Structure 1
């Protein structure tokens, strides 16, 4: 799972907090988990159990929840398993962006997904997405294949 900065988490929290009350509900948190895990779902009851009965999270609790699910201690025996999990997670993430299933992420697909997730302003548009793709497009074909996507994700998490 890639690490997000405090500012990234703040932006995500604010987007999730639809009613502006300073809290993210279980429904909102569950929606985010479904979107970021490729549709695999956890029941609201299971999520509530994870959150020790809480019905919503303030920003600090949201950051703590993020930290608790993203930070894993790794020992030598688990390293290979974790690498496989990372590869699998990256494949799932790639499929989220590869809307037409052709094995490539175009700037249009990137724009569509980022807007749907609320991570790209409407006015920003395709120009910014083309620039993002260009930054990691090693074969200069104007789109990202899985290896380019993987390199991008691994570089941004280091």
Structure 2
């Protein structure tokens, strides 16, 4: 899962608003949701949204609510697709499979992805920010918190 920033949401909104009318219909929203695997009927969506069109701000807040809803579901212990995606992402960084992401593992993955320079080469401080038990590594819960905070801070 990659966090969506307000810029991402603006680009998505603009691509849905092909007629450049300043709103998207619930039909267009339904097509977007179908593409990302969230199937719903137009009737259900209209009840949820409360109208047949969304302007940018309504769209923005709708997306924010959906993401926060997914995060809340995970905090209640439901292991849905978001939890599964987070576990897969965690395993990408946990190179030795010990259940922790060390500074060396983080650096190795960021180097392979070509992102090391963008991070200013400071993995210890990157880990320290989310390392709630101060053991110098990230466990899965700390990683989930980091990703959840990244998602919500983009709104």
TM normalised by structure 2 equals 0.51
Rounded to whole Å, the distance in 2 between the matches of 1:44 and 1:21 is 21
Q: Equivalences for 1:33-44 in 2 at 5 Å?
A: 33-37=33-37, 40-44=38-42
Q: 1:135 aligns with which of 113, 123, 141?
A: 113
2:21 is matched with 21
Aligned match for 1:81, one of 73, 77, 90: 77
Displacement, 1:2? 4.7
- Structure 1 stretches of at least 4 aligned residues deviating more than 4 Å after TM superposition: 154-157
CA distance in 1, matches of 2:13, 2:59: 8
Match status 1:51 vs 2:29? no
For structure 1, which runs of at least 5 residues remain unmatched after alignment? 92-133, 137-153
Secondary structure, aligned partner of 2:10: helix
Q: TM-score, normalised by structure 1?
A: 0.50
Q: How does 1:57-72 map to 2 (within 5 A)?
A: 57-72=54-69
Specify every segment of 5 or more residues in structure 2 that has no aligned partner in the other structure, as ranges. Answer: 87-111, 115-143, 151-155
How far does the alpha carbon of each residue in 1:113-149 deviate from its partner, in whole angstroms, 9 at most, with x for none? xxxxxxxxxxxxxxxxxxxxx518xxxxxxxxxxxxx
Query: For 2:113, what is the secondary structure of its paired residue?
Result: helix
1:62-98 deviations in Å (ceiling 9; x for gaps):
00101111113749xx63624x22234x39xxxxxxx
Q: CA deviation at 1:19?
A: 1.0
RMSD over aligned Cα atoms: 3.7
Residue in structure 2 matched with residue 8 of structure 1 by the alignment: 8
User: SS of 1:9's equivalent?
Assistant: helix
Between the two proteins, the alignment pairs up a number of residues equal to 98
Higher relative contact order (CA 8 A, sep 6+): 2
**Which protein shows a greater Rg?**
2
For residues 3-46 of structure 1, what are the alpha-carbon distances to aligned partners after superposition, in whole Å with 9 as ceiling and x for unaligned? 31111110000001111111111111011101112xx4100000
